[in-house]
Chains A and B, each alone.
Chain A
Amino acid sequence: MSGQVTYAGRKGLWDWLTTVDHKKIGILYLIAGGIFFLLGGLEAILIRIQLMYPNYDFVGGSTFNELITMHGTTMIFLAAMPIIFALMNAVVPLQIGARDVAYPFINALGFWLFFFGGLLLNLSWFLGGAPDAGWTAYPPLSSGHDFSDQGVDFYVIGLQIAGIGTWIGGINFLATIVNMRAPGMTYMRMPLFTWATFVTSLLILFAFPAITVSLVLLMFDRLFGANFFDVNAGGNVIIWQHLFWVFGHPEVYILILPAFGIISEVVSTFAKKRLFGYSAMVFATVLIGFLGFMVWAHHMFTVGMGPIANALFGVATMLIAVPTGIKIFNWLFTMWGGQIRFTTANLFATGFIPTFVMGGTTGVMLSVPPADYQYHDSYFVVAHFHYVIVGGLVFGLFAGLYYWWPKMFGKKLNETLGKWNFWLFFIGFHLTFFPQHFLGLMGMPRRVYTYQADTGLDLGNFISTIGAFGMGLGTIVLLINIIVSIRKGEPAGADPWDGRTLEWAIPSPAPEYNFAQTPLVRGLDALWTEKMSGNGKMLPAEPLGEIHMPSPSVLPIIMSIGLFIAGFGFMYHNIPVIIGGMAITFICMIIRSLVDDHGYHVKPKELEDGEKGVKA
């Protein structure tokens, strides 16, 4: 695998399957996550059509349960997280002035594990039915064979494989940020998106093992006849709820913190101002991450924990409003006194602020346990978490996508189409989810496939469905925009937005080695600092020289396929298939240990070419 293969010499599908380049892995995450996003969106539209009219007969109860389960699972694990990872891969190493991530091989492995886990989960549609116990998969509905079909096996195995991928991806970013920062890039000079990635990765590191264990328990119950959740054999179904939410609540912050980071970058760039209260922003990010581990039981107020636990978890949850509020006001005052340009990226970022405030405030309302007895598992909760996850995270991701698209692909997305994208999605979003607050309070439980006529729920549901179509249209416009951009997008140049951070100091798309010379960072907003000092580009921290790069490897994809095969073996109780699949994975690990990767060196000549702007 070693040798002097150059970047330009590797092309085509094989290159994509074997790449360990974080920028290419970012694009792979974006494509795979994007496809799953469309799938989850389609499921959402089908859900909304079924709920358009009372007693409507479109898909029926059991298919509806499959749709809601797959919609939630897909959107959280297979769409939102991968697209976050796409942006983290594309941007974080550039923002800290690194040539690469800490573990390029592990990074690729993380992607392929996620991909094959997601694939396995979605194959359930064709192999006897999708999981139908909700994305939270509460036992015994999910554990007892009397109550659920084989679909839940796909949930257990698919999420387990994808989860391991996410987990090692998180470790990779932690080590990258700790060890690979350029000279002068101190922690308190890191861009907010990098900070958010750091805290998010910490949350991934400590939260994902909890769901690994929950899934193991569920798998053992379902496949090997264990009794964790079998009440008749001494099991306890509440264990799942605790373990799931010990993971699940940090997961919510794993999703939203990167969005906070993106918004901080976009708002500051397009207001032409440095971020207001940078230190407070960093502090708030860390505090939110920390508190995120203390409040999991607020998802379980109605489960019978008693008033002491309910009151404690309720008040702890309220506290999170404080650092979140700090962030909101800091964004507002970043824009205060600026020269705000409303590009599409900034439209999404500014649209995020009021939307997220609404989602955050309903979050505080939900933290009041006695009131939560009414909200819990009603459409009020559905409205709340879509306000934070769509109005928060997805708006943030769209902002980030429009913002960093030029850096990832070298071309801008079309601004006119972008504006259509924003307004359709924004209006559609509020139309969909605002009425749901009231539907919940008016007595509509969550996850119902229908409702009775003349119960006051017709109008709200109808409006909600119309709104969902609007969001669908907005997404289609985004797709068209992407196609248009690939066909005949405007070349972006290195710094299309008058950027402030390091990623805008290098060509778009970034060359394989990112920085020909490692930059010297002399202040917060490293590039902006140099722009203000008059030289407009980064000072090098090292002389021009040969750059060492890691070799591509086919092992990550083969290892993931091994686990994918073993997963089917587990589901169908086929021991040879289990052994075969696991053997593939372990043999790859042994090869990886035995064969040293010497990598290859990029020659100075290529370097010079790179500097002149020849596309790598």
Chain B
Amino acid sequence: MVKRWQHVWRLLALTIVTALTLTGCGDPTLSALIPSGPVAEEQLTLIKLSLFIMVGVIAVVMFIFAYVIIRYRQKPGQTGIPEQVEGNTKLEIIWTVIPIILLFILAVPTVMTTFTLAKDYSEEEGAVNVKVTAHQFWWEFEYPDLGVATAQDLYIPTGKKIMFQLTSKDVVHSFWVPSLGGKTDTVPGLVNKMWLQADKEGVYQGKCAELCGASHALMDFRVVAVSPEEFDSWVEKMKAGPAEPTTATAQEGQQLFQQNCLSCHAVGGQGGKLGPNLTAFGDRQKLAGILENNPEVLKQWIANPAQFKEGNLMPSFEGTLSKEQIDALAEYLSGLKIR
């Protein structure tokens, strides 16, 4: 009997630990267990519901299991043959019917939420439409109704539904902001839809969740949730573009940018779309999604991007530009701020 109680205690302790880890685990800007919007909350509710049902099932199985392997182990000197039981219809019906009931309890909210999360809010008043295009290994964001485009840092207003249209320029990626909600794949040739909403202001981490090449692990982005007023002013400033550079070095940097970078990168509505839009580059939370955004790192990046992100398309400028030129370019880019 003593041994059996030990098992029960162990099980109880395990459940408590599990519950504790579930309520406060991970980085609050990254963890699906710390939701910051209604989508992630609904999903966490379903995760918890299914988890609790399943922990119940595991507990029953473990209890019988522990009892059986302790009670019915062969004792020294034990002989004879145990009764050869064919089965037990009553028991077998019980463990067929109870799981069906449990699954039914799980299936009803599952189906309901599946449809809730698939709603299309693109025409709804107040919703913000965002077109997401994934590239190896960065994210392009366009606001088709607002006439603004950016990359890597996605600005959204809090409390509003953000309706995403997701696609990809090259391979399949998957757009995931765990603390705001689950992921949706970005598939070349298709446009998928999904909505998210942030209730609290803050910066949330986004990830690419589908293997997309050598730097799949580094394809991070940020979602910056700001108040609706701040968002509106951000949009206005984005439309106006960043202020012209004032220092001589930065002006030289601007010239160099126009000669060398504009075919791929856009600033303030001008330039190509092969690389990330750099309009508000100085405001970026991170450089290339993963690095600290300061001029020193930026210089190293420009000199040799591949050392940070293997397989990205940007060429190395080490041989093309002199050290002074790279310095100027970095100063210009770091000054591209609108906030």
Contact = CB atoms under 8 A, between A and B. Distances in A.
Direct contact between A and B in the complex (CB less than 8 angstroms)? yes
B172 interface: yes
Interface in A311-337: 311, 314-315, 318-319, 321-322, 325-326, 328-330, 332-333, 335-337
A61 B114 contact: no
B3 interface: no
Contact of B30 (A144, A337, A442): A442
Interface in B80-129: 81-88, 91-92, 95-96, 99-100, 103, 106-107, 110-111, 113-115, 117-118
B216 A342 contact: no
A273 B84 contact: yes
Interface in A337-369: 337-342, 350, 353-354, 357-358, 361-362, 364-365, 368-369
A140 B211 CA distance: 11
Interface string A276-307: 11111000000000000000000000111011
Q: Which of B51, B58, B72 has the most CB of A within 10 A?
A: B72
A271 interface: yes
Contact of A304 (B21, B30, B184, B210): B184
B25 A441 contact: yes
Contact of A140 (B53, B171, B214): B171
Nearest to A312: B111
A535 interface: no
Contacts of B106: 318, 364, 368
Interface stretch (B60-68, B155-163, B273-281, B314-322): B60-68
Given A237-B172, A368-B110, A445-B176, A333 B217 contact: no
A282 to B, nearest CB: 12
A96 B72 CA distance: 31
Interface in B1-47: 21, 25-27, 30-33, 40, 42-44, 46-47
A357 B81 contact: no
B33 A442 contact: yes
Contacts of A322: 96, 99-100, 103
Interface string A56-84: 00001110010000000000000000000
Interface stretch (A17-25, A109-117, A370-378, A581-589): A370-378
B114 A311 contact: yes
A371 B172 contact: no
A452 interface: yes
Contacts of A378: 209
A329 B91 contact: yes
A127 interface: no
B310 interface: yes
Contacts of A362: 54
Contact of A339 (B53, B78, B96, B189): B78
Interface string B159-174: 0000000000011101
Contacts of A147: 136, 170-171, 213
B202 to A, nearest CB: 15
A451 interface: yes
Contact of B82 (A144, A271, A449): A271
Contacts of B44: 374
A454 to B, nearest CB: 7
Given A61-B215, A61-B216, A357 B57 contact: yes
A369 B110 contact: yes
Contact of A370 (B42, B172, B215, B290): B42
Contact of B47 (A140, A279, A361, A365): A365
Contacts of B176: 377, 445
A442 B32 contact: yes
A90 to B, nearest CB: 27
Contacts of A452: 220, 290
B182 interface: yes
Interface in A119-161: 132-134, 138, 140-141, 144, 146-147
A236 interface: yes
A447 interface: yes
A328 to B, nearest CB: 6
Given A339-B78, A357-B58, A456-B26, 13 more contacts: A62-B214, A138-B210, A273-B82, A273-B84, A276-B87, A306-B118, A314-B107, A318-B107, A354-B65, A373-B43, A442-B25, A443-B179, A445-B209
5 contacts: A61-B310, A302-B182, A371-B47, A374-B44, A452-B220
**Pairs of residues from A and B, 5 with the lowest C-beta to C-beta distance, nearest first:** A373-B182, A442-B26, A448-B217, A231-B189, A443-B30
Interface of A: 60-62, 65, 132-134, 138, 140-141, 144, 146-147, 231, 235-238, 271-274, 276-280, 302-304, 306-307, 310-311, 314-315, 318-319, 321-322, 325-326, 328-330, 332-333, 335-342, 350, 353-354, 357-358, 361-362, 364-365, 368-374, 376-378, 438, 441-443, 445-452, 454-457
